[in-house]
């Protein structure tokens, strides 16, 4: 099932562009780096996150815009902006973000770090002892692995790896063979550290670092002996990293994907970054070679890859400059040595990560692998990491002869290689590995154990979540997970697995909403139900927390509800195409976004439903791809006590936040929420209420 081919025409004025809205999110992350109340090393980390986010933005989103232009598409998006216009808007906005980012780095964060004894030493400030050590490091560690390439007919421009560090060198003179070349390329091997810590010595700052780029710049003459070096310039190229696999041309998805992954780092260029000392002549030469325009050139006053500084907070032992250590708590219903199956036979268990531990989910799967009464395990895997205790439990369960089925999404962007590796290990252990349904990414988070009880009957125990089965990210992403032995939910989950692994028509589900079949229609129907309630003179109320809101039909349904008098609060972390607060259209809609220590990731749908308080948790954002091109689920919270917890912890806390919240304006810009009341932070409150004592 795909999105309707004959979608009704929408008024472009009703929508904000996805890419421009996503760049507004980068501004909110950048504001965390500028916030003096955030610990200093965490500010540096936020600064690096902006660069990492922009990298992916160019690799996927900008490459998509450029592909539209290449194909000659004049089709405007829902907001009415043409691809050529959008590329210009994106370039202007990113240039402005980068200007603010580097000003913050150079004028604020680096000086503040230096005052704390964490110094990034520039070339002109090296003393004699430091210069000697760096020269020895260059001769010993750097020089042996460099391969300088002088450009001439026998030495064409080398292939440049996506996001790699490179140097363009302007030369004069003849080499040992009498050749004349005025340009050379030096690629920094990936084995070399981009940031080097100098040895401790008296009188030196406790943490003194130099950049590899500074080392190479200083000693570039050693690479081109006898030549005159007129300039040495850092540059970095970002490439199209989206994978394309044609359904009609492949027989083996895993084999095809392996081949595509090898080429990912050499896709078409979409961005050129150079240091601000780069000559105009060299910048033009590089643009011409990579077939880019001036709008694709980003000149930076500093190192061209701030992502490399992301590791620095981990290298520096200064707890006073970081967030306090996280100690996740446990629900009262789960003790450290409890029998998870006995607990679930009595009650559902709700987990709120990262404030509460992910350990019960790991224990749930471990128990399934070790309990002789568990006869089958089924699980969806989207992202799980290269080292995953969950996957090890699945391997062990298969080795023990249990019926293990893993629906493993090979097309999980940037995790394809890790997932292919796990697929191989699982198959070798005897598990059934399914790659889902081509054209529909399996994004639902489902884990089901089938256990034979003392009565002799088989019973299903399931975990459903809003986030990935990735033990590391559960310490940084806010997500809900539900452990339940509810028979009807178990039957629904079993039906979803049957659809994915087998053939046949989809059967109706009792409780779950499922994409691409019932999720979007049920969301729209729930919105329309609130609309009718409001029109009848009763109270209509909708609160939604998601990562992105882009589906036009859903947005139009929200506008209709607003006009009917439904009060709507939308907590949208990232891109939002809806315009709030427009008279006669969205006066009753507020949109806010929260950026803090943890990445807001859970998806929660609340509909008052005349006092029923219907609450769903989901793996899906309100986007066409989630609704129509993915296998997603939304599951209800049926236990009244747990429902109240979700409303309180996942929604009301975030609506009360006046320290990390941003309110969206009707033009798509955001304004930091401020209040004269006592400061209130949702994340800090949840840490205090749910995390373990220190």
| Average pLDDT of the segment spanning 283-306 | 96
Residues 589 and 655 in one domain: yes
Residue of 521 and 262 predicted with greater confidence: 521
Pairing between strand 183-187 and 166-172?
antiparallel
Give the CA angle between residues 72, 75, 77 to the nearest 5°: 135
Within a domain: 157: yes
Tell me what pLDDT residue 356 has: 96
Residue at a domain's end among 511, 535, 551: 511
Residue 483 pLDDT more than 70?
Answer: yes
Residue 416 near residue 431 (C-beta atoms within 8 A): no
Q: Are residues 131 and 33 in the same domain?
A: yes
Q: pLDDT tens digits, residue range 393-426?
A: 999 999 999 999 999 877 655 556 777 778 888 9
Q: Any idea what the CATH number is for the domain that residue 355 is in? A: 3.30.870.10
| 333 in a structural domain | no
> Which tokens belong to 481?
């997970």
Which helix (H) or strand (E) segment holds residue 580: the answer is none
Across the range 5-16, mean pLDDT stands at 79
Of the ranges 244-258, 304-318, 336-350, 495-509, which one carries the lowest mean pLDDT score? Answer: 244-258
For the chain, the average pLDDT equals 91
326 Cβ contact partners less than 8 Å away, ≥ 6 residues apart: 354, 475, 687, 691
Please check whether residues 266 and 362 belong to one and the same domain: no
379 and 314 housed in the same domain: no
pLDDT for res 255 = 52
Q: Where are the alpha helices (DSSP H) in 239-279?
A: 253-264
The pLDDT score that the predictor gives to residue 264 is: 54
Q: Among residues 289, 321, 353, which one ends one of the domains?
A: 321
Query: What values do phi and psi take at 385, rounded to 5?
Result: 90, 165
**pLDDT tier, 2 (very low <50, low <70, confident <90, very high otherwise):** very low
The predicted pLDDT at position 74 comes to: 81
Both 505 and 518 in one domain: the answer is: no
Q: So what's the pLDDT on residue 337?
A: 72
pLDDT at 43 (0 to 100): 98
Going by pLDDT thresholds of 50, 70 and 90, the confidence category of residue 263 is low
Whole-angstrom distance, CA of residue 568 vs CA of residue 555: 12
DSSP state of 394: H
Give the per-residue pLDDT at 507.
85
Residue 444, phi then psi, degrees to nearest 5: -65, 145
Please determine, for residue 453, whether its predicted confidence score (pLDDT) is greater than 80. Answer: yes
> What is the pLDDT averaged over residues 473-485?
96
Please determine, for residue 248, whether its predicted confidence score (pLDDT) is greater than 90.
no
Candidates 347, 334, 341, 332; CA nearest to 366 is 341
How many domains are there within the chain? 3
pLDDT band at 146 (very low <50, low <70, confident <90, very high): very high
Would you say residue 261 has pLDDT above 60? no
Whether the Cβ atoms of residue 400 and residue 486 lie closer than 8 Å to each other = no
In a domain, 1, yes or no: no
Chain mean position to CA 341: 33
Question: Is 542's pLDDT higher than 90?
Answer: yes
| pLDDT higher than 70, residue 138 | yes
Whether residue 329 is contained in a domain is answered as no
Residue of 460, 462, 446 lying closest to 500 (CA atoms) = 446
| Domain-terminating residue out of 292, 321, 350 | 321
* Together in a domain, 544 and 501: no
Any catalytic annotation for residue 443? yes
Helix, strand or coil, per DSSP, at residue 403? strand
| Residue 531 and residue 475 share a domain | no
- Let me know: does 235 contact 286? Beta carbons within 8 Å: yes
pLDDT at 132 (0 to 100)? 97
Give the SS3 label for residue 547.
Answer: coil
Cα(230)–Cα(470) distance, integer angstroms? 49
Q: What letter would DSSP give residue 598? A: S
Query: Hey, is 674 helix, strand or coil?
Result: coil
Residue 671 is predicted with a pLDDT of: 96
- Helix residue ranges, H only, 434-588: 487-501, 519-535, 552-564
The token pair that represents 354 in the structure block:
């990262």
> 61 and 210 share a domain?
yes
Q: Is the predicted pLDDT of residue 247 greater than 50, yes or no?
A: no
Q: Which of 13-17, 230-234, 383-387 has the lowest mean pLDDT?
A: 383-387
355 and 313 both lie in a single domain = no
Closest CA to 166 of 110, 105, 239: 239
Across-strand partners of 607? 542, 614
- Per-residue pLDDT band for 226 (boundaries 50, 70, 90) equals confident
**SS3 state at 500:** helix
Please count the other Cβ atoms lying within 10 Å of the Cβ belonging to residue 488: 13
| 6 falls within a domain | no
Furthest-apart CA atoms within the chain: distance in Å: 90
CATH code, domain with 201? 3.30.1840.10
**pLDDT in the model for residue 354:** 97
Work out the pLDDT band at 563, boundaries 50, 70, 90. Answer: very high
Q: How confident is the model at residue 181 (pLDDT cuts 50, 70, 90)?
A: confident
- Mark whether 571 and 654 lie in a shared domain: yes
Domain identity same for 615 and 683: yes
334 within some domain: no
Is residue 524 assigned to a domain? Answer: yes
| 381: enclosing H helix or E strand | strand 374-381
From the candidates 353, 393, 443, 602, give the one annotated as an active-site residue: 443
Q: Cα angle vertex 16, ends 13, 20, to 5°?
A: 140
489-512: average pLDDT: 92
Provide the whole-model pTM. 0.93
pLDDT of residue 176: 63
pLDDT tens per residue, range 366-390: 999 999 999 999 999 987 777 789 9
Residue 256 confidence (pLDDT) above 70 = no
Check whether the bond before 245 is cis (ω within 30° of 0): no
Asked if the structure places residue 326 within a domain, the reply is no
Cβ neighbour number for residue 639 with a 10 Å cutoff: 17
For residues 144 and 655, give the distance between their C-alpha atoms in angstroms, rounded to a whole number.
Answer: 57
Q: At what angle do helices 389-399 and 416-429 cross, to 10 degrees?
A: 20
Domain around 658? 514-690
The reply to whether 413 and 377 lie within a common domain is yes
The answer to whether 271 touches 298, Cβ cutoff 8 Å, is yes
Tens of pLDDT, residue by residue over 635-686, are: 999 999 999 999 999 999 999 999 999 999 999 999 998 877 789 999 999 9
- Which of 574, 569, 520 lies closest to 548 in space, CA to CA? 574
Residue 471 pLDDT grade (very low, low, confident, very high; cuts 50, 70, 90): confident
């Amino acid at each position: 099932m795909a999105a309707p081919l004959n979608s009704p025409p929408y008024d472009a004025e009703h929508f904000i562009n996805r890419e421009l809205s996503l760049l507004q999110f980068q501004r909110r992350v950048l504001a965390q780096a500028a916030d003096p109340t955030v610990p200093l090393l965490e500010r540096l980390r936020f600064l690096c996150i902006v660069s990492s986010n922009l990298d992916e933005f160019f690799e996927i989103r900008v490459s998509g815009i450029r592909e539209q232009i290449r194909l000659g598409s004049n089709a405007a998006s829902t907001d009415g902006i043409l691809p050529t216009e959008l590329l210009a808007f994106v370039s202007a906005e990113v240039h402005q973000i980068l200007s603010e980012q580097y000003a913050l780095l150079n004028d604020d964060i680096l000086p503040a770090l230096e005052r704390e004894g964490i110094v990034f030493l520039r070339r002109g400030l090296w003393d004699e002892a430091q210069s000697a050590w760096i020269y020895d490091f260059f001769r010993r560690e750097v020089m042996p692995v460099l391969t300088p390439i002088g450009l001439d007919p026998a030495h064409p421009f080398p292939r440049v790896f996506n996001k790699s560090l490179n140097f363009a060198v302007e030369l004069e003179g003849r080499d040992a063979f009498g050749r004349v070349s005025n340009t050379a390329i030096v690629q920094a091997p990936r084995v070399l550290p981009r940031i080097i810590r100098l040895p401790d010595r008296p009188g030196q700052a406790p943490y003194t670092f130099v950049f590899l780029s500074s080392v190479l710049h200083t000693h570039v003459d050693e690479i081109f002996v006898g030549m005159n070096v007129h300039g040495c310039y850092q540059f970095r190229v970002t490439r199209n990293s989206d994978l394309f696999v044609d359904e009609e041309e492949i027989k083996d998805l895993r084999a095809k994907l392996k081949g595509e992954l090898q080429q990912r780092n050499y896709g078409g260029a979409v961005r050129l970054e150079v240091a601000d000392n780069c000559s105009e002549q060299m910048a033009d030469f590089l643009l011409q070679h990579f077939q880019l325009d001036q709008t694709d050139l980003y000149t930076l006053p500093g190192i061209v890859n701030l992502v490399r500084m992301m590791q620095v907070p981990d290298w520096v032992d200064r707890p006073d400059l970081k967030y306090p250590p996280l100690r996740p708590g446990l629900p009262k219903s789960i003790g450290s040595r409890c029998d998870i199956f006995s607990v679930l036979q009595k009650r559902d268990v709700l987990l709120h990560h990262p404030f509460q531990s992910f350990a019960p989910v790991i224990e749930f799967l471990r128990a399934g692998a070790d309990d002789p009464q568990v006869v089958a395990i089924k699980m969806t895997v989207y992202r799980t990491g290269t080292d995953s205790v969950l996957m090890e439990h699945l391997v062990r369960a298969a080795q023990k002869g249990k019926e293990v089925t893993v629906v493993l999404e090979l097309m999980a962007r940037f995790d394809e290689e890790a997932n292919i590796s796990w697929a191989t290990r699982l198959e070798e252990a005897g598990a059934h590995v399914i790659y889902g349904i081509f054209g529909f990414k399996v994004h639902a988070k489902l884990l089901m154990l089938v256990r034979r009880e003392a009565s002799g009957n088989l019973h299903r125990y399931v975990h459903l979540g809003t986030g990935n089965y990735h033990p590391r990210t559960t310490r940084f992403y806010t997500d809900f997970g539900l452990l339940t032995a509810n028979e009807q939910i178990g039957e629904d989950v079993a039906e979803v697995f049957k659809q994915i692994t087998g053939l046949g028509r989809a059967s109706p589900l009792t409780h779950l909403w499922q994409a691409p079949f019932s999720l979007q229609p049920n969301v729209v129907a729930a919105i329309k139900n609130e609309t009718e309630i409001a029109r009848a003179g009763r109270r209509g109320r909708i609160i939604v927390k998601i990562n992105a809101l882009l589906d036009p039909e859903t947005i139009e349904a929200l506008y209709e509800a607003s006009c009917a008098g439904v009060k709507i609060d939308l907590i949208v972390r990232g891109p939002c195409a809806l315009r709030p607060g427009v008279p006669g259209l969205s006066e009753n809609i507020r949109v806010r976004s929260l950026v803090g220590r943890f990445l807001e990731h859970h998806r929660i749908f609340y509909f008052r439903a005349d006092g029923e308080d219907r609450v769903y948790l989901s793996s899906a954002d309100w986007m066409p791809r989630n609704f129509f091109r993915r296998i997603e689920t939304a599951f209800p919270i049926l236990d009244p006590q747990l429902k109240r917890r979700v409303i309180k912890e996942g929604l009301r806390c975030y609506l009360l936040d006046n320290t990390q919240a941003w309110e969206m304006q009707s033009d798509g810009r955001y304004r930091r929420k401020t209040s004269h009341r006592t400061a209130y932070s949702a994340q800090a409150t949840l840490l205090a209420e749910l995390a373990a004592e220190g």
